[in-house]
Amino acid sequence: MSDSSTTQCVLFPDLFGKPLVARFDQLHGSSDGGAILLKAADRRLGLTERLSACLRDERDPAKITHEIHGLFSQRLFSIACGYADANDAARLADDPIHKLLLGRDPIEGDPLASQPTLSRFENAAGRKALYRMGEALLDAVIERHRKRLGRKIRRITVDLDPTDDPTHGAQQLSFFNSHYDTHCYLPVLGFLTFNQEAEEYLCAAVLRPGNASAKMGALGLLTRILDRLQCTFPKARILVRLDGGYACPEIFEFLDEVGVHYVVAMAKNSVLKAYAAKLMHQARRLSKKNDRTEKLYSECSYAARKWDRQRRVIFKAEVVVHPGRDPKDNPRFVVTNLKGDPQRIYEKVYCARGEIENRIKELHNGLDLGRTSCTRFWANQLRVLLTAAAYVLMQELRLKAAHTSHARAQVSTLREHLLKLGAWVEVSVRRIVLHLPASFPFLEDWQRLALALGAAAG
């Protein structure tokens, strides 16, 4: 405990049968004892090495105390452990586990970088370096799953989805967005799903101005993702799922050109509503007869004025009934080049992209994706990439937790159950020992996860 702390101990004189004293004097203790799992996951992915290598260190070599790789790793591991702000560095500078994560002696090693040093590091990143980092993140995720699944990969689903990142202050390129009714950024996130697996793996995170259209940057991001996927998995069937904001001529032409399948939502217009009118009439009649929500499916060939060709459009004619309310028409339209039954394509293929919302909620609520409080836009892009990389590590933990009670646990649950573990660190000439609680309730899961990440049974 720092000498500047206001409270070194507290006393509860009458809480129990005897006076209780709580002393903050465990010099070699940490509340993040389980975080060594992050180091093990990073060793498998090579994530910090890949991403930090994209940053050039232009500082005077004679005055450098903390290398770029160390600064990057410090921020990434801190975010994964729940310390989203660089301000937390002051409290973690001498934490033995966090020093251990950076390869330093947990007791005698130098303190970690301070908040000013980390802030200078964040603000030094330039646009080109950040672009290279985005490529490195994508490559790391693809390479991980190539090694994991190899020839077993038959189908890959690509999802892009924007999200809002409310801003508070004078951040560059923060604008008022009427849809979200706030000043914000609009980052776009990319996910990959392999075969029929339940997990969607984050592979891209790009920060955008608050007034960006949904399609801004989408073509470049899709080009980058699909190029690497087709080179790495030439025999895999690739499906792209997008919401209505991406339904523009250049996106459709690109997807047709590169030869992938797609399902893309499209906003209703007078022509599409006319195609669906007859089916909507049938749905209203059924809904009135049965007094419940009814939906019917059909399809048509359609070409907007700026499209280069006609495309298949599946439409859902739905009438929604809620008790005490008037029935409400809810027609929906999806553009696709898939063959098959319209209802199956809409419900089983397109609607499955709703699971992406859960991944985005994890990024916001579990890792504070929206903590973009730097003034410079590019510094905030670095924070987004750091958060994305931390999430990739947490997804690796979840992947390795298969067949345990944490196989589908949220990021916040993984952290609270497996990383936030009180530890006392002991260092000898021969080894480092972490003394962890014998009464740890998730001991079996933690041990199984550690073994899956390369630990040896002692």
| In the chain, domain spans | 270-330
Q: Report the relative pairing of strands 237-242 and 155-162 from DSSP bridges.
A: parallel
Q: Which residue stretches of the chain have pLDDT < 70?
A: 1-7, 458
Q: Distance of CA 245 to CAs 72, 333, 369, 400, Å?
A: 34, 13, 22, 35
Distance CA 371, CA 363 (A): 11
pLDDT at 21: 86
Distance from C-alpha of 286 to C-alpha of 317, rounded to nearest angstrom: 11
What pLDDT is recorded for position 63?
Answer: 85
Q: Please give the structure tokens belonging to residue 256.
A: 């047709």
CB 314 within 8 A of CB 297: yes
Residues 6+ apart with CB under 8 A from 397: 37, 38, 41, 414, 418, 449
CA torsion angle 449 450 452 455 (round to 10):
-170
Q: What is the DSSP letter of 353?
A: G
Cβ-based burial of 281 (10 A; exposed 0-12, middle 13-18, buried ≥19): exposed
Nearest-CA neighbor of 239 among 158, 312, 341?
Answer: 158
Q: How many CB atoms lie within 10 A of CB 410?
A: 16
Q: Encoding tokens for residue 375?
A: 């003034």
**Contact indicator for 219, 135 with CB cutoff of 8 Å:** no
The CA distance from 77 to 348, in Å, is 37
Q: Given CA atoms 445, 451, 455, 456 in this order, what sign does their dihedral have? A: positive
Q: Length of the chain, please?
A: 458
**Alpha helix segments (H runs only) across 242-318:** 249-258, 270-290
- The alpha helices in 81-217, defined as continuous H runs, are 89-92, 96-101, 115-123, 127-149
Which residue do the tokens 């609680």 mark?
Answer: 437
**pLDDT score recorded for residue 3:** 47
The pLDDT, as a whole number, for residue 458 is 67
pTM of the model: 0.93
> What is d(CA 432, CA 173) in angstroms, rounded to the nearest whole number?
47
Phi, psi of 324 (to 5 degrees): 80, 5
pLDDT at 7: 62
Q: Are strands 423-427 and 432-435 parallel, antiparallel or unpaired?
A: antiparallel
